[in-house]
Structure 1
């Protein structure tokens, strides 16, 4: 679904459509991408950690959600433009970059307290 693009991102093509208040992928797609790209060298990954994607210059966290078709990214209306729904190139932040962006945005794992 995603391939190496740069030192900070993977590149993929997804069907992007307006959706709910938060960006979401099909829950199975989310877990597969999380395992494949965000898993560490020992095979341990946090499936509850959001993926961080970039579309049209905007970064946003992406969660897994039931009811989202496979291969589809739903985005909030605020990120949707007039040409959606459409197949679009989407950047996925590499783990190090994603961690920086999530921390900057105030996200912390539930067990970090």
Structure 2
């Protein structure tokens, strides 16, 4: 007999796999349209978040996506806007994509936004 916990975990894993497929397929298609290839120079997408939270398994999930750019270009700006628009077509409750995305912006965010506690 399968336990309720096991069914919940399986559902969370399947939801995570489905989300990864959506992000990868959307990214690949958009890369072909904007860059003419699936290879995107100095651009990468990361899907993150907790697949075990209630929103994910309850059918009301947001899309947590971070687009990292080596440097901002007109193509990467267009890519980011279009990626957000296309992911919205999958009816996520919201698309959570940080405004900062270049490596320099990420570094600044980490240096100024996090408080490091001294180790005992």
Provide TM-score, normalisation by structure 2.
0.28
More helix by share: 2
More strand by share: 1
Larger RCO, structures 1/2 (Cα 8 Å, 6+ apart): 1
